[in-house]
Amino acid sequence: MNNIKIVITGGPGSGKTEIIYELEKQGFYVMHEYSRLLFKEAKKKGVKDAFKDDPLKFSNSLLDVRIKQFKSASDLKYNLSKPCVFFDRGIHDIYAYLCAIKKKNDFKNIIFSYSYDLVFLLKPWEKIYCHDNERIESFSESKKFFNYIELVYKEAKIKTKIVPNDTIKNRVNFIINYMKKN
């Protein structure tokens, strides 16, 4: 049996990482977001925003890691009681971000050759949104990125499900209960 590949995604600051941490605490396999590490490495070199400074270079670096994560999920031991691998963002997010900033690219064919079993979308939520050292987008930019993310996964014909805005515990319970029913 193969592990079920599930993406948790949405605009910046929508609570993805907290959900991933909670799923990990509960014993699920998770693949952590890598872009924060790329931002930190770039800042050490004096680059304020690695994505805006060179979107294609940043996206290529991120694509390499996300493809490795995707492939490595198939190598994880199958667990009948917890057969899911959760990804903090997926490969398709890369293409969505480039589309959102209107950056011409040739990522679509590569990215659309990968597919996930399900994508949970987190809508922008101003109540929990905050800036930090790696999240420099505004809340309005978060909404814009969310719209592109949702469009790209639908264009890729990957099933999506909106997660209601709620506490981390309730959002995780929503995800787990949805998986049990489907």
- pLDDT tens readout for residues 34-79: 887 877 787 778 777 767 778 898 899 999 999 999 999 999 998 8
Name which residue leads in pLDDT, 101 or 45: 101
- Token look-up 């390499």 returns 64
Domains of the chain, earliest start first: 4-181 (3.40.50.300)
pLDDT of residue 136: 67
pLDDT of residue 178: 96
Please state the pTM of the whole predicted model: 0.92
pLDDT of residue 42: 73
3-state helix, strand, coil in the chain (%, to 5): 50, 15, 40
pLDDT of residue 30: 97
